[in-house]
Chains A and B, each alone.
Chain A
Amino acid sequence: SQELEQSPQSLIVQEGKNLTINCTSSKTLYGLYWYKQKYGEGLIFLMMLQKGGEEKSHEKITAKLDEKKQQSSLHITASQPSHAGIYLCGADISSGGGADGLTFGKGTHLIIQP
């Protein structure tokens, strides 16, 4: 089974609406990263969360890590066409040592309808 589950797999949202993407694991997330990817291109770092209950915001994007450090959400307020793309969550689920790098979810495809 996938160690890091992202939902939904795809999302079509009307421009100006809010949306939320979730990233869930049965294991503790020692470092949780959100990336954005334009189709076929590289990954752009959005935010990193480490502490339970942590919340970070940048422009219209807010990411949260729950207290148990097993679930993170990415919330976009008043979506714009520039938000379209693939959102990926990546996390260290090994044991906090981090030597193995990140495990990634399969991604959420976000489409913004004008």
Chain B
Amino acid sequence: EAQVTQNPRYLITVTGKKLTVTCSQNMNHEYMSWYRQDPGLGLRQIYYSMNVEVTDKGDVPEGYKVSRKEKRNFPLILESPSPNQTSLYFCASSSGTSGSLYEQYFGPGTRLTVT
């Protein structure tokens, strides 16, 4: 089954404790992206990657890091999480090297709470 998986689905952590949210897709997609969703703000892009070893900042990259060492994986790293990073996070992928013009497949989401 074609899908984007994220782990963990739920995470409660404390300020400053490094964490990684994994994202994996099995569709051989070139393009992958991370979004955060907040009430009243909608979905905002954090980082995206057009291919292996190619990553770029989205609209709200501060406080986040990503890596793309393999085509299928695109982990999101929070080196020192803060409470303002409490949010619902989505990973997405699409075929081609563009974020648009192709359907983006979304993962199930990771609900992160930073206390």
Query: What separation, in Å, do the CA atoms of A88 and B42 have in the docked complex?
Result: 9
Query: What separation, in Å, do the CA atoms of A113 and B47 have in the docked complex?
Result: 39
Known A40-B109, A42-B109, A100-B58; judge A105-B42 contact (CB<8 A).
yes
Considering the complex, give the chain B residue whose CB is closest to the CB of A47. B103
- Tell me if A40 and B88 are in contact (CB < 8 A): yes
What's the tally of chain B residues with a CB closer than 8 Å to chain A?
A: 29
**Which of B41, B43, B48 is close to A100, meaning CB atoms less than 8 Å apart?**
B48
Query: What separation, in Å, do the CA atoms of A50 and B102 have in the docked complex?
Result: 10
**Which of B56, B100, B105, B111 is close to A102, meaning CB atoms less than 8 Å apart?**
B100
- Tell me if B42 and A104 are in contact (CB < 8 A): yes
Instruction: Please indicate the chain A residues that have their CB under 8 angstroms from the CB of B22 in the complex.
Output: none
Instruction: Please indicate the chain A residues that have their CB under 8 angstroms from the CB of B12 in the complex.
Output: none
Query: What separation, in Å, do the CA atoms of A53 and B58 have in the docked complex?
Result: 30
- Tell me if B56 and A99 are in contact (CB < 8 A): yes
A85 within 8 A of partner (CB): no
Known A43-B90, A90-B43, A107-B42; judge A102-B99 contact (CB<8 A).
yes
B82 within 8 A of partner (CB): no
A contacts, CB < 8 Å to B: 30-31, 33, 35, 40-45, 48, 50, 88, 90-92, 97-107
